[in-house]
Amino acid sequence: MSERADRIEAAFAHVFHPSMVSAREGEQEVRVCAATTCAGSGAGAVRDAFRDELTRRGLQQEWRVVETGCRGSCDQGPIVSVEPAGVFYPRVSPASVPRIVAETLVGGRPVEDLLYRHPDTGRPVARAADVPFLLGQRRLVLALAGRIDPASIDDAIAHERYRAFVEALIADEPDDVIDAVEESGLRTRVGDPGSVGSRWRRALDGTHDERFVVCTADEGDPGAFADRTVLESDPHAVIEGMLLAAFAIGARHGVVRVRRDHAAAGERLRGALVECRERGLLGRDILGAGLSFDIEIDAAERMLVCADETALIASLEGRRAVPRIRPPAPTEAGFRGRPTVVSDAVAYAAVPWIVRNGAAAYAAAGLHEHTGTRVFSLSGQVRNGGVVEVPAGTSLRRVVEDIGGGARPGRRLKAVQIGGPLGVCLPATALEAPIDDLAAGSSSLVVLDDRTCMVDLARHLLSISQREGCGTCVPCRLGTKRSLEILERIVDGRGRDGDMELLAELGTYCSQGTLCVLGGNASNPVLGTLRDFADEYEAHITERRCPAGVCRALITYSIDPEACTGCTLCAQRCPAAVISGREGQPHVIDVSGCTKCDICRQVCPDGAVRVRSGVSQAVAPGTA
Amino acid sequence: MLGILKALRTTVSHLPRKPLTVQYPEVREELPERSRGLFKVVVDVTTEEARCRACTLCETNCPVQVIRVDYRNKYDLPAVDQAALARDRLAEQGAVDLSPLRPIIDGHLESGTGLNAVLQRVQDAYGYLPRAALQQLSLETGTSLSQIYGTASFSDRFRLAPPAAHIISVCRGTTCYAAGAPLVAQALREALGIDADGTTADGFVTLQSVDCLGVCGPAPVVRVDDRVHVAMTPERAHALVQELRVAEGVT
Ligand code: SF4
Ligand code: SF4
Ligand code: SF4
Ligand code: SF4
Ligand code: FES
Ligand code: FES
């Protein structure tokens, strides 16, 4: 081994404090997910209950309670697993903790009635590895999420974090790193989604010797939380990815944009950065190898327009987040006018894996001609939402039905909205489409069921883009506004003949001649729904009814006298007090005063409240 | 026809004159070192109107902040007493204690973190972005007020007026939308007696819509001050407002 290698290895050995590792492979531990969603469903109390129960039984020496990052099946939280057996418990409450301790920790057998139940067979599933949600996944980027304590750098190092970086430093061939990233086909979701490696290479071409590495976890579109999950669950993966980028392109400064509402992710990252600085993994002359690099955090509220790199850079520089004309591309003149590489947190987190395992291995993780994996945040009207990582090229159906468990009981899958307001809505019949470049710009995957009106959904999505556009380009500024007005009048029952054609025309113009991805893609949901759900538009415009029973101006509430048992519940709860009827007798709604708040339908124990598509003659469209 | 003739006359009258412009960037004028030159707004000879459309871009972008666009002539507006205006604007919001600003500005000067983060901290400290605080920020950091104000007004996440005692945020993200957030928002508006986002007449609650709180699983999500309520229904929305009123003794 060369002298350089020895020196770096020795310095790295110094970084690692094995005694601080809270969890070793094969050791007895209880892993409690402490990430945002689980924390929201009470993971903190569950953790305390485990600690108390173990102390009470004097077992705190043998069993450790580890707070991990997100395991991915967030809707089932709080998630607990008992290692090394890998017994998986969803929806754990503090009350069930003593039983888990008694039977699983001490007795070594699962508590059957607390186990996850297979959605199809209803049979309990004991091991995490067999839970269908995790079965269809291929977790490379998220490999350590949910397995390590994200607040401990030693845990991360014990799981080989920073190994790729150390090896790259020893090899001292920045070009090889770029080659590997380029060949792996790794893509980023920011800006014009494209190859990460080729951006790195382009950044090298510049004449400036100062370069920047920018990471964004802004996820400006609703329903996206993949970057947050990575930062929260394995922050060192992102830092290592950025270190490798810095090494490859010779940058000294990095910036991470985090969303302010994602306080936990910001805190985790901040803590991880402090630890890295203390241990000499960030700062001057890292590991004595001559590379100096540090990362700063920029927390801001989410902004959809920051999906464009130049807008993001403007915002990082403290200006209005307004995109600018390219060229020059950010790789030529980005942050502070210097060559800058911009990627999302998920992409950076994939870099260490690629450098360690080789470009070919990453590329081969995809199906057919697709390369690598894709990380999605699955949410909406689906049984098991969470963060999933699947081979690129996996069909949407697999993700939604096998991993997500399909629509909620009693509902029918209607469409899938991918990529947020700038993405697309695919009808349930088109779910064979492979996940790859679909919605390349965002991680959000929202499942919609039969209670979603596609016209109103288009209005909803467009209203977000309209609000968030920066206003520079006329087609975007006026086009989205006018389209939105048309959609608003359609859902309000004032649609006119020709509106559909007008929308299509406006949408097409709007997607041409704009400066950034926002204006370019804002009309996607409108154009897509116009194509795939034309009948719903027609029902709204010509028949003045909303088939899904959503648009308030186009529906009527009524009570089915056959089904109503006269329990009076709805009459008690109706805020408009328009339900009448005697106890034990079928109740009636006076539609003229009904505000369509949906409370009666939600409270009726017998499902007797019906929502009819269309309005009765008594109520003129648009007045309700 | 008349227009064309007029234009022709202008062209002809210019022919014998020496050109005023040089072919920048091929030819460059020799300027004395540190010349600041003089600004002159080009006047359109045909209409005799200034070509400046008072867009204020130059004012915003001038690196040394020496441009002031006074647009009253252009649009024939009554003369404005800028100083008085600034005073009034400040007075509008009452006196503001600037001491909480100290650590924020010091931290900013030290680390040079982004303006967004600074504004965020100012909003955390005051609940909104007071005009006086922004002016102070501009004075001390040397960032022009128009840039600060531009960034602050760019996103509706920054509040430029003080909020009410309680803030209710309803998520309008797609996941929440699909789970019935519009019904919840409607119920909140009904319960609060307001038509749109904003503050109730008694200044008790500010209702605002936010795009995704990032806890999309158990949608719809509503945040009351700092507490997040998940799986909301219209009915619980009414109850929530009621609870707030009871807690505050407001009826
Ligand atoms: S397309 Fe829209 S958001 Fe993008 S630069 Fe133009 S106006 Fe701004
Ligand atoms: S929808 Fe609301 S207002 Fe209408 S009848 Fe039902 S509870 Fe009353
Ligand atoms: S809640 Fe349902 S069953 Fe009870 S009175 Fe109303 S409609 Fe009838
Ligand atoms: S205000 Fe606008 S139009 Fe007028 S001189 Fe300045 S930049 Fe030009
Ligand atoms: S937050 Fe716990 S599994 Fe995702
Ligand atoms: S969409 Fe409401 S929290 Fe994400």
- What ipTM, to 2 d.p.? 0.84
pLDDT at B144: 80
Query: Which chain B residues are closer than 8 Å to A421 by Cβ?
Result: 174
Task: Please report where in the chains the tokens 């069909």 appear, as a residue.
Answer: A395
- Return the residue of A nearest to B175 by Cα: A380
The string of pLDDT tens digits covering residues A530-542 is: 999 999 999 999 9
Q: What are the Cα distances from residue A294, in Å, to A160, A210, B124, B204? A: 21, 13, 27, 45
- Residues A36, B235: C-beta atoms closer than 8 Å: no
Looking at the structure, do residues A288 and A210 belong to the same domain, yes or no?
A: yes
CATH at A578 = 3.30.70.20
Helix, strand, or coil here: B230?
coil
**Confidence category of residue A208, pLDDT binned at 50, 70, 90:** confident
Atom of ligand 5 nearest to the CA of A78: 2
More confident residue, A67 or A222: A67
Q: How far is the CA of A375 from the centre of ligand 5 (A)?
A: 15
Q: What's the CATH code of the domain at A473? A: 1.20.1440.230
- By alpha-carbon position, which residue is closest to atom 4 of ligand 3? A567
Under DSSP, is residue A138 helix (H, G, I), strand (E, B) or coil? coil
Ligand 6 pocket list (CB less than 6 A): A 222-223; B 171, 173-176, 212-216, 219, 221
Which residues in chain A are closer than 8 Å to B190, comparing Cβ atoms? 575, 595, 597
**Percentage of residues of chain A with pLDDT beyond 90:** 43
Q: Which residues of A touch B111 (CB under 8 A)?
A: 296
Question: What are the tens digits of pLDDT across the range A494-524?
Answer: 999 999 999 999 998 888 878 888 888 899 9
Confidence of residue B188 (pLDDT cuts 50, 70, 90): very high
Q: Which residues contact A485 (CB under 8 A, 6 or more apart)?
A: none
Closest CA to A487 of A516, A513, A523, A517: A523
Highest mean pLDDT among A53-67, A219-233, A538-552: A538-552
Which tens digit of pLDDT belongs to each residue from A553-598? 999 999 999 999 999 999 999 999 999 999 999 999 999 899 999 9
pLDDT above 70 as % of chain A: 96
How far away, in angstroms, is A578 Cα from ligand 3 center? 13
Mean pLDDT of chain B: 78
User: Could you tell me if A490 and A469 lie in one domain?
Assistant: yes
Q: For residue B234, give how far its alpha carbon lies from the nearest alpha carbon of chain A (Å).
A: 6
In a domain, A413, yes or no: yes
- Which pLDDT does position A268 carry in this prediction? 92
Cβ < 6 A, ligand 4 pocket: B 52-58, 69
A15 within a domain of the structure (yes/no):
no
Q: Is A89 helix (H, G, I), strand (E, B) or coil?
A: strand
Q: Is A389 exposed, middle or buried (0-12, 13-18, 19+ CB in 10 A)?
A: buried
Instruction: State the Cα–Cα distance between residues A599 and A609, nearest whole angstrom.
Output: 10
- Distance, in Å, from the CA atom of A471 to the CA atom of A249, rounded to the nearest integer, reads 34
Q: What is the pLDDT of residue B88?
A: 65
Which ligand 2 atom is nearest residue A590's CA? Answer: 5
Percent of chain B with pLDDT over 70: 68
Pocket test for ligand 2, best of A551, A590, A597 (most atoms within 8 A of CB): A597
Domains in chain B, ordered, with CATH?
98-154 (no CATH), 166-248 (3.40.30.10)
Query: What pLDDT does residue A502 have?
Result: 93
Residues having CB closer than 6 A to ligand 1 are A 305, 323, 469-473, 476-477, 514-516, 518-519
In a mutagenesis test of the B interface, which of A41, A298, A597 is the best target, namely the one with the most B β-carbons within 10 Å? A597
Asked whether residue A333 is assigned to any structural domain, the reply reads yes
Q: Which of A222, A320, A417 sits opposite B151 (nearest CB)?
A: A320
Q: Is residue A345 part of a domain?
A: yes
Contact A281, A241 (CB under 8 A): no
Whole-angstrom CA distances from B171 to A463, B176, B180, B225, B228 are 14, 6, 10, 13, 11
Tens digit of pLDDT for each residue in A79-103?
998 888 888 899 999 999 999 998 8
Is the distance from the beta carbon of residue A557 to the nearest atom of ligand 2 less than 6 Å? Answer: yes
Decide if A87 is inside a domain: yes
pLDDT band at A193 (very low <50, low <70, confident <90, very high): low
B239, pLDDT greater than 70: yes
Q: Is the whole model's pTM more than 0.90, yes or no? A: no
Q: Is the CB of A71 under 6 A from ligand 5?
A: yes
Measuring CA to CA, which residue among A412, A378, A576, A455 is closest to residue B234? A576
Residue nearest to atom 3 of ligand 4 (CA): B52
Residue B27 has pLDDT above 80, yes or no: no
Q: Are residues A56 and A115 in the same domain?
A: yes
For residue B104, what are the CA distances in angstroms to B98, B122, B157? Answer: 11, 7, 19
Chain A partners within 8 Å of B188 (Cβ): none
Q: Which domain holds residue A278?
A: 161-361
Q: Do A298 and B117 touch (CB under 8 A)?
A: yes
Question: Does A602 share its domain with A520?
Answer: no
Region B81-97: what's the mean pLDDT? 66
Please report which ligand is nearest the Cα atom of A569. Answer: 3
- Same domain for A257 and A112? no
Distance, CA B179 to ligand 3 centroid (Å)? 23
Residue A485 and residue A593 share a domain? no
Contact status, residue A177 vs residue A98, Cβ threshold 8 Å: no
* Ligand 3 contacts CB of residue A242 (under 6 A): no
pLDDT for the residue numbered A513: 77
The pLDDT assigned to A620 comes to 43
Tens of pLDDT along A408-459? 888 899 999 998 888 889 999 888 888 776 656 788 899 999 989 999 999 9
For the Cβ of A37 lying below 6 angstroms from any atom of ligand 5, the answer is yes
CA distance A457 to A464: 11
CA distance A386 to chain B (A): 7
Distance of alpha carbon B30 from alpha carbon A475, whole angstroms: 42
- Nearest-Cα distance to chain A for B5, in Å, is 34
The pLDDT assigned to B51 comes to 75
- Check pocket membership of A5 for ligand 2, CB cut-off 6 A: no
Q: Kindly tell me if the per-residue pLDDT of A9 is higher than 80.
A: yes
Pick from A563-567, B109-113, B157-161: least confident: B109-113
- Please tell me which residue of chain B has the smallest CA distance to A297: B113
- Say if residue A262 is in the same domain as residue A308: yes
Task: Please give the distance, rounded to the nearest whole angstrom, from the Cα atom of residue A192 to the centre of ligand 1.
Answer: 14
Q: What is the CATH number of the domain that holds A105?
A: 3.40.30.10
In a domain, A462, yes or no: yes
C-alpha span between A149 and B13 (Å, rounded) = 81
Look at residue B41 in the predicted model and tell me its pLDDT. 75
Dist. CA B155–CA A303, nearest whole Å: 8
Per-residue pLDDT band for B19 (boundaries 50, 70, 90) equals low
Residue A147 lies in a domain: no
pLDDT band at A619 (very low <50, low <70, confident <90, very high): very low
Q: What is the pLDDT of residue A539?
A: 94
Best mutation site among B40, B42, B44, B55 for ligand 4, i.e. most ligand atoms within 8 A of its Cβ? B55
Residue A93 belongs to some domain of the structure: yes
Tokens matching residue B243: 């609870």
Chain B environment of A75 (Cβ under 8 Å): 217-218
Domain termination site, one of A401, A427, A449: A449
A236 pLDDT above the threshold of 90: yes
- When scoring A75, A221, A312, A446 by the number of chain B Cβ atoms within 10 A, the one with the most, hence best to mutate, is A446
Question: Any idea what the CATH number is for the domain that residue A232 is in?
Answer: 3.40.50.11540
From A361, A388, A404, the end of a domain falls on A361
pLDDT at position B101, please? 87
Q: Report the atom number in ligand 6 closest to the C-alpha of B171.
A: 2
Q: What is the pLDDT of residue A332?
A: 85
For A248-269, write each residue's pLDDT tens digit. Answer: 999 999 999 998 878 888 899 9
Ligand 4 centroid vs B58 CA: distance in angstroms?
Answer: 5
Instruction: Tell me how close the Cα of B236 comes to any Cα of chain A, in angstroms.
Output: 10
**Cα A505 from Cα B157, distance rounded (Å):** 32
| Domain boundary residue, one of A306, A331, A361 | A361
Nearest CA to ligand 6 atom 1: B173
Average pLDDT (B47-56) is 72
Minimum distance, in Å, between the CA of residue A172 and any CA atom of chain B: 31
Residues shown for chain B = 251
Give the separation between CA A35 and CA A226, rounded to whole angstroms.
Answer: 12
Best residue among B52, B65, B66 to mutate for probing ligand 4, ranked by most atoms within 8 Å of CB: B52
Tell me, yes or no, whether A394 and A515 share the same domain.
no
CB pairs under 8 A between A and B: 148
pLDDT band at B72 (very low <50, low <70, confident <90, very high): low
| Structural domain total, chain A | 5
Q: A266 and A214 in one domain?
A: yes
Let me know whether A114 and A187 are in one domain: no
Q: Is A596 in the pocket of ligand 2 (CB under 6 A)?
A: yes
- Ligand 2 center–CA A415 separation, angstroms: 28
Please report residues of A whose CB lies closer than 8 A to that of B114: 298, 300, 315-318
Share of chain B above pLDDT 90, in %: 14
CB of A574 within 6 A of ligand 2: the answer is yes
Q: Is the CB of A598 under 6 A from ligand 2?
A: yes
Most confident of A124-138, A346-360, B118-132: A346-360
What is the b/e burial string over A522-538, where b = at least 16 CB atoms within 10 angstroms of the residue's CB? Answer: bbbbbbbbbebbeebbe
Strand-pair category, A64-68 with A29-33 = parallel
Q: Amino acid identity, residue A472?
A: T
| CB pair distance less than 8 Å for B175 and A446 | yes
Q: Which of B61, B167, B212, B232 to mutate to test the interface with A (most CBs of A within 10 A)?
A: B212
- Residue nearest (by alpha carbon) to ligand 2 atom 4: A594
Q: Are A531 and A604 within one domain?
A: no
**CB A128 within 8 Å of CB A49:** no
Which residue is closest to B226 within chain A, CA to CA?
A261
Q: In this structure, is the dihedral angle defined by the CA atoms of residues A302, A306, A309 and A312, taken in order, positive or negative?
A: negative
**Count of alpha carbons within 13 angstroms of residue B208, beta-carbon side:** 17
What pLDDT was estimated at residue A321? Answer: 87
C-alpha A136/C-alpha A134 separation (Å) is: 6
Which atom from ligand 2 is nearest to the alpha carbon of A573?
A: 7
pLDDT above 90 for B228: no
In order, the DSSP letters of A465-480 are HHHH--S-SHHHHHHH
pLDDT at B21: 65
pLDDT at A618: 43
* Per-residue pLDDT reduced to its tens digit, A101-153: 988 888 888 888 888 887 777 788 888 777 877 777 888 888 888 888 899 89
Residue A543 · residue A574 · CB < 8 Å: no
Whether residue A444 sits in one domain with residue A463: no
Question: In this structure, what CATH number is given to the domain that contains residue A421?
Answer: 3.10.20.600
Joined tokens for residue B65: 């902040």
Q: Which residue has the higher pLDDT, A389 or B79?
A: A389
